[in-house]
Amino acid sequence: MALTFAQYSSTIFSRSSLLFLHNNGLRSFALSTPFLFSSSFSTSFPALSTHKLGRPKWRPPVASILEVAGVKVAKEEIVRDDPTNNVPDTIFSKLGMQLHRRDQHPIGIVKNVIYDYFDTNYPNKFDKFDDLFPIVSVKQNFDDVLVPADHVSRSYNDTYYVDSQTVLRCHTSAHQAELLSKGHSNFLVTGDVYRRDSIDSTHYPVFHQMEGLRVFSPHDWEGSGTDGTSYAAGDLKKCLEGLARHLFGSVEMRWVDTYFPFTDPSFELEIYFQENWLEVLGCGVTEQEILKQNGRKNSVAWAFGLGLERLAMVLFDIPDIRLFWSDDERFTSQFSKGQLGVKFKPFSKYPPCYKDISFWISDSFTENNLCELVRGIAGDLVEEVKLIDNFTNKKGMTSHCYRIVYRSMERSLTDDEINDLQWKVRDQVESKLNVVIR
């Protein structure tokens, strides 16, 4: 699990296409150039639903304007017919939903329990931010947290780009530098983050992270008998071991040395839970370069990042990450504000439908592009996309065979519905991914 950091996006900044304006607390989202309505990377097929006779009908189109962190955002500003844009309708529709701000939702419950821990153990110490604008600059998302220029996370295969200099944040760390530069020394940042990813029960292109950061000045560690880095690392481990006990009770823990570009030393905390070692979070001592760039030359700091879905799935026994986005009362009614660890009771297990697709790939093919295309057509009706076979023939051509699993969490799918989806997938795979169906 990647370590997450964050940066506050309340300053004015401009790009070739977008302006974010924040004046006297009134925030607006304005265009400097006109845009078209559809993304060259997105698919235009809305997800299917059924009425009581089981025949498919079309859902209404995605809303054209959403309010995100107090800013009104038009669809044509984010989903565009532009080679530098790869944001599909399905992702735009998730902007502004902010599951982490719903007190009776598992994500919001976990967030609030973590807040309770910090409020109890560090009263009036940590500033909390959970409504920061999720559209940020490439500089904020990558450069400010020292992500190397050639790092894979910067690619269009991994990140949603609005344009060449603007992205949907990949981590809450995108807000870290500005918070530091504005004088915040202890803070927690929670928000929805976006990454192009595989399709299975534990991965979804939108999820929620929380990061924490604490800054120390020389007078904090002077007299401790240790240097600033060792002092910060010790304080970090004490804090997070307490958080793990707060969430999971008295559990065995271990620290694993690891690497993150923005901390040194870096660690992962694992707990022994339900007879398995579970990675809980990533953390470390903040790189001095980040502190220097934001006016904290003589300070040291620690930071941690965790995924709220990952914790909620374990604490509530939720088997499929898609359930977090369900409005089905059989799911939502099982959770209450402040009640951590209520075990989810499956309301039904509808049958899966398996469809295979085989094709000759090109050099430009990536699995993330395939998953993005399938999601754009089937939405949350797709449960998994898995490579089940591949080979290279004597001519050097490589074939991939993927198994697509369709399953609704709320109803049984009809044969006609699934066949219609699969034919759309076949057509779009060949026309958009530059492959040849076998």
The predicted-structure confidence for 19-76, as pLDDT tens digits, reads as follows 333 333 333 333 333 222 233 333 333 333 333 333 343 444 567 888 887 888 899 9
| pTM to 2 decimal places | 0.83
8 Å CB contact between 96 and 75 = no
pLDDT at residue 25 in the model: 34
Assess whether pLDDT exceeds 50 at residue 298: yes
Average pLDDT (362-366) is 94
Indicate whether 228 belongs to any domain.
Answer: yes
Pair (142, 273) in one structural domain: yes
**16: exposed, middle or buried (C-beta count within 10 Å: 0-12, 13-18, 19+)?**
exposed
Indicate the SS3 state at residue 337: coil
**143: exposed, middle or buried (C-beta count within 10 Å: 0-12, 13-18, 19+)?**
middle
Indicate whether 186 belongs to any domain.
Answer: yes
pLDDT at residue 313 in the model: 94
What is the tens place of the pLDDT at every residue in 312-351? 999 999 999 999 999 999 999 999 999 998 999 998 789 9
Indicate whether 341 belongs to any domain.
Answer: no
Range of the structural domain that residue 387 is part of = 351-435
pLDDT at residue 301 in the model: 97
CATH number of domain containing 429: 3.30.70.380
Cβ count within 10 A of residue 235 = 18
Indicate whether 118 belongs to any domain.
Answer: yes
- Kind and range of the H or E run holding 301: strand 300-307
Q: Could you tell me the two tokens for 207?
A: 């999820």
pLDDT at residue 67 in the model: 84
Sheet with 26-31, edge to edge strand ranges: 13-14, 18-23, 26-31
Pair (292, 362) in one structural domain: no
8 Å CB contact between 222 and 299 = no
Pair (308, 385) in one structural domain: no
Indicate whether 126 belongs to any domain.
Answer: yes
What is the tens place of the pLDDT at every residue in 111-122? 999 999 999 999
Residues 6 or more apart whose CB falls under 8 angstroms from that of 74 comprise: 29, 31, 64, 65
Cβ count within 10 A of residue 391 = 9
pLDDT at residue 330 in the model: 94
Q: At 146, which amino acid appears? A: L
**132: exposed, middle or buried (C-beta count within 10 Å: 0-12, 13-18, 19+)?**
buried
Average pLDDT (338-367) is 93
- Cα(156)–Cα(317) distance, rounded to whole angstroms? 33
Indicate the SS3 state at residue 169: coil
Indicate whether 83 belongs to any domain.
Answer: yes
Q: Could you tell me the two tokens for 355?
A: 């469809």
pLDDT at residue 349 in the model: 83
What b-and-e string marks burial along 309-329, b requiring 16 or more CB atoms within 10 Å of the CB?
bbbbbbbbebebbbbbeeeee
228-248 and 106-121 are packed helices; what angle lies between their axes, rounded to 10 degrees?
130
Q: At 15, which amino acid appears? A: R
What is the tens place of the pLDDT at every residue in 368-400? 999 999 999 999 999 999 999 999 999 999 999
Average pLDDT (275-304) is 94
pLDDT at residue 64 in the model: 80
Based on the structure, what is the number of domains in the chain?
2
8 Å CB contact between 382 and 406 = yes
Which domain-ending residue is among 331, 360, 379?
331
Pair (277, 413) in one structural domain: no
Average pLDDT (403-411) is 93
pLDDT at residue 143 in the model: 95
Pair (396, 260) in one structural domain: no
